[in-house]
A and B are shown apart, each in its own frame.
Chain A
Amino acid sequence: MEKGGTELPIVALNEVLKLFTPFEIIFFSFCSKRTKSICQSIRTVTKSKEALYNFSVWMNSVYAIYLQFSYFPTTSTSRHSLHLYTSDNLTLATRQLANYISEIFHEKVNGFSLEWNQYNGKENQIIMDVFRNHPVRDFLLTGDTSNDSSKNDVLTSILKNLNAKETMTLQINPSSDFSFDFSQLKNSLETLEVSFSHWITFQQILNIKCQNLYLQKSNFLQADFKLLIDKWRDGWTPNWETMTIELNEDIDVDTCVEGEYIDLEPENYKSKKVVCGNFPIQLNRFEGYFENEWGTVFMHGYHILRSDGMIASIGILDEEYRVGWFQLWVFNLEKCSESKHTKRNKFWSVLPHGFLKMFYSRKPTKSSWEKMAQPIEGIHFPNWNPSVDTVHTYSWLASETTLTTRHSFHLYTSENLASGTRKMADYISEIFHEEENLFALDWSRYNSKENQLIMDAFCNPVQDFQLTGDTLNDSSKNDVLTSILKNQNAKETMTLWMNPTSDFSFDFGQFKNSLEILDIAYSHWITIQNILDVKCEKLYLHKSKLLQADFKLLIDKWRDGWTPNWKTLSIELNEDIDVDTCVEGEYIDLEPENYKSKKVVCGNYPIQLNRYKGFFDSNCGTGTTFKHGYHILRSDGRIATIETLDDKYRVGWFQMR
Chain B
Amino acid sequence: MSCEEPTTSPTPENNITVVSSDGKEFLLDLKLTEQSETLARLISNFEYDRTDVKKDPVPLGNITSAQMQKIIEWLQHHRYYPKWEQNDIHYSTSFTFETWVEEYLNIPNNEMFELLNAANYLNIPRLFSTICRIMASRITGKSAEQIRTVLNIKTDVKNDVYTGIPIQEDSSSSEDGMSEISLSPSPPPI
Contact = CB atoms under 8 A, between A and B. Distances in A.
Nearest to B119: A12
State which size class the interface on A falls in.
Answer: 35 or more
Interface in B98-155: 108-114, 116-117, 120, 128-129, 131-133, 135-136, 138-140, 142-144, 147-155
Contact of B153 (A7, A37, A63): A7
Contact of B143 (A11, A27, A74): A27
A30 interface: yes
B178 interface: yes
A69 to B, nearest CB: 15
A55 to B, nearest CB: 15
Interface in A411-442: none
Interface stretch (A94-102, A135-143, A167-175, A269-277): A94-102
Interface in A7-66: 7-9, 11-12, 15-16, 19-21, 24, 27-28, 30-37, 60, 62-64
B64 interface: no
A97 B178 contact: yes
A99 B188 CA distance: 25
Nearest to B186: A85
A8 B135 contact: yes
Nearest to B175: A99
B187 A32 contact: no
B88 interface: no
Contact of B112 (A4, A32, A96): A4
B181 A86 contact: yes
B182 A32 contact: no
B110 A5 contact: yes
Contacts of A6: 109-110, 113-114, 152
Interface in A76-96: 83-88, 92-93, 95-96
Interface in B59-113: 93, 108-113
B106 to A, nearest CB: 10
B188 A96 contact: no
Contacts of B112: 4
A611 B129 CA distance: 98
Contact of B166 (A1, A2, A31, A88): A31
Contacts of A63: 184, 187-188
A60 B157 CA distance: 29
A19 B155 CA distance: 23
A3 interface: yes
A327 B138 CA distance: 57
A373 B131 CA distance: 39
B117 A32 contact: no
A27 B152 contact: no
Given A4-B113, A100-B177, A31 B184 contact: no
B182 A2 contact: no
Given A27-B143, A86-B183, A95-B176, A4 B132 contact: no
Contacts of B165: 30
B176 A99 contact: yes
Contact of B168 (A5, A15, A36, A85): A36
B109 A24 contact: no
A103 interface: yes
Contacts of A60: 190
B116 to A, nearest CB: 5
A12 B136 CA distance: 10
Given A4-B112, A7-B113, A16-B132, A84 B183 contact: yes
B173 interface: yes
13 contacts: A1-B138, A4-B108, A8-B135, A11-B116, A11-B117, A12-B128, A19-B132, A30-B165, A86-B181, A86-B184, A88-B181, A97-B178, A103-B173
Given A12-B131, A31-B151, 14 more contacts: A1-B138, A3-B152, A5-B152, A16-B135, A19-B133, A24-B140, A31-B148, A31-B155, A36-B168, A36-B170, A85-B187, A87-B182, A87-B183, A99-B174
Interface of A: 1-9, 11-12, 15-16, 19-21, 24, 27-28, 30-37, 60, 62-64, 73-74, 83-88, 92-93, 95-97, 99-100, 103
